[in-house]
Copies of this chain bind each other. A is one copy, B any other.
Amino acid sequence: MDQQLVVYNSLSGKKEAFTPLVEGHVGIYVCGPTVYSNVHLGNCRTFISFDIIFRYLKYLGYKVRYVRNITDAGHLENDEDAGEDRISKRARLEQLEPMEVVQRYTVDFHNTLATFNTLPPSIEPTATGHIMEQIELIKTLVDKGMAYEVNGSVYFDVLKYNQHHQYGILSKRNIEDLIHNTRTLDGQIDKKNPQDFALWKKAEPQHIMRWPSPWGVGFPGWHLECTAMSTKYLGETFDIHGGGMDLKFPHHECEIAQATAIHQKAPVRYWLHANMLTLNGKKMAKSTGNNILPHELFSGENKLFSKAYSPEVVRFFMLQAHYRSIVDISEAALAAAEKGYQRLLEALTQLATLETAATNAFDFESWQARCHAAMNDDFNTPVLIAHLFDAAKAIKSAHNNQLDIDAATKEKLQKQLEVFIKEVLGLEMKLQHKKQSADDGLATATISLLLELRDQARLKRDFETADQIRDALLALNIQPNDGKDGTTFNIQ
């Protein structure tokens, strides 16, 4: 296609033409989960958003290296280096080894994302798997005078960095405001300035996750792992860094500062941030009960929704909003998405059996170009989906003999629709599949028997029984089609 992919870069605050560092290749890093609890629906939305970006870049023909990490150490309760390590705390409360906590929630994370049909990333590195790389980076920062050791912990010197660089460049924060607004929390007494952040923390005797280092036994700070892993697998500067909007500050700001101080260049060319999910108009939070886990939504076993919604429908619902917009999940919205998605799949079924015309009134190329234009405009899935509905409408017209579609167009449309739905949007089309599978089994045999009995009744001029069978089948959404080669049926 001729069009240029354009992405919204949080760093510049503008849409920019996307050109990768190395032609034909894209390196992308996305901050993964901290595996200390079951994955939230909001987290799922973030990873589904980047799954779309990964899929579309591959669709465009790029060889994509997609790195998404697992944070299995170092993420403290408070993002400003205070409180307990989240995983250690969970391990203490559940009387487990920290790595048992990590395993339990990593398995949950993988299972849930697989249910949503997201593709696995190319590399899925862990923080604990890169302690050595982090220590090497800290040594460099200390050598450069950009970090200082106090009492077995090492901190990044934000004020010093800010003398020659701009701390706050991504989140558009002003260093003076930051200094003014930063509180000093427990466990931060070692810091020169409260806005400094931890690269390495001394492990107190009760801290159960611990590694040796040049500064004594401790554990890494949260922010550094992403710099260590993105540098190792994507290089000192790479194309795209993604994550949830809430990670912009402090996490991504700290990543920029660390990496810039180490390599003397900006680490990331395009910063992409996915927006959040609200539930019934309010922020999701365990404490208020305004919260739902993915499996509760899929099973229907919850107090918020009257029925179960399949992962596929929930995914379709999320993609009906742009990744940079807030999405509110509610019963009405999910029910509407389910209906819409069903309608889209029905169009595909109608298209499959459509009798083509000699002439053609559906402009495939211009429709396809509009679809590509939508996705090239910062991965605008809602607009793509609107175009898919346009196609569905045209198919329905053709089905009702109100629009001509020729054989060549039908074939192109079938192929491209399936690619957009399955490959680009990552929807498995299981709803449709489930309906069609009735063709194979017991139902087919019994329906055929019923049609045979109906034919027999008609031959015997027992129209009462024949009509009874037809009406009962119609009530089951089974449409008998009387043709010259006997009666066939469609399941609607």
Contact = CB atoms under 8 A, between A and B. Distances in A.
Interface of A: 65, 97, 99-100, 102-103, 107, 110, 120-126, 128-129, 131-132, 136, 211-212, 233, 438, 441-443, 445-447, 449-450, 453, 456, 465, 468-469, 472, 476, 478, 491
Contact of A443 (B441, B468, B472): B441
Contact of A438 (B97, B100, B122, B442): B442
B122 A100 contact: yes
A65, A233, A446, A476: most-surrounded residue (chain B CB, <10 A): A446
Contacts of A445: 476
A15 to B, nearest CB: 31
A211 B102 CA distance: 24
Given A450-B450, A456-B465, A120 B100 contact: no
9 contacts: A97-B122, A103-B122, A107-B120, A126-B129, A128-B129, A136-B212, A438-B441, A446-B447, A453-B465
Contacts of A456: 465
A320 to B, nearest CB: 29
Given A212-B136, A465-B453, A121 B103 contact: yes
Contacts of A121: 103
Nearest to A491: B442
B120 A99 contact: no
Given A103-B120, A129-B126, A97 B233 contact: yes
A349 to B, nearest CB: 16
Contacts of A446: 443, 446-447, 450, 476
B453 A97 contact: no
A441 B100 CA distance: 41
Given A211-B132, A212-B136, A441-B438, A233 B99 contact: yes
Contact of A99 (B125, B136, B212, B442): B125
A132 B441 contact: no
Contacts of A122: 97, 100, 103
Contacts of A136: 212
A123 B103 CA distance: 6
Contacts of A97: 65, 122-123, 233
A127 to B, nearest CB: 9
A442 B124 CA distance: 43
Nearest to A122: B100
Nearest to A472: B449
Given A120-B107, A453-B453, A476 B442 contact: yes
Contacts of A125: 99
A459 to B, nearest CB: 12
A453 B450 CA distance: 9
A124 B110 contact: no
A128 to B, nearest CB: 5
Contacts of A100: 65, 122-123
A132 B65 contact: no
Nearest to A108: B120
A100 B103 CA distance: 20
A275 to B, nearest CB: 28
B129 A132 contact: no
A122, A136, A456: most-surrounded residue (chain B CB, <10 A): A122
A131 to B, nearest CB: 6
Nearest to A464: B456
Contacts of A472: 449
Contacts of A453: 450, 453, 465, 468-469
Closest 5 CB pairs of A and B: A129-B129, A446-B446, A442-B443, A99-B123, A443-B443
A25 to B, nearest CB: 11
Nearest to A434: B441
Contacts of A438: 441-442
A443 B476 CA distance: 11
Given A97-B233, A450-B449, A450-B450, A103 B124 contact: yes
A120 B102 CA distance: 12
A453 B442 CA distance: 18
